[in-house]
Structure 1
Amino acid sequence: MVLLNKSMKATVEDIRDFLDKQSQHITHYLVAHSYYFAYHKDAVSIERMTFNLRKDFRHARNCFNKELYGNGARRKPQLLQPLLIPTIEGTKEIANPQISIHYNIYLGNLPKILTTEDIKTLWTYCWVDKAKQKNDIYITEPVANTQSHLLHYGTKEAQFGNLSCWDFENTQIPLQRTKH
Structure 2
Amino acid sequence: MKLLLDTHVWLWSLADTARLSKRTLRMLHASSTELWLSPISVRELGDLSDGGKFEHRGSFTEWIEQILERTRPIEAALDHRVALATRAIALTHNDPMDRFLAATARVYDLVLVTADESCSPAVASRHSRRETVHAVRDHSSDRDAVTQGTDQLRRLRFHCAARLRVAASRSAGVG
TM-score normalised according to structure 1 size: 0.29
Q: Which has the higher helix share?
A: 2
Q: Pick 1 or 2: higher relative contact order, CA cutoff 8 A, min separation 6.
A: 1
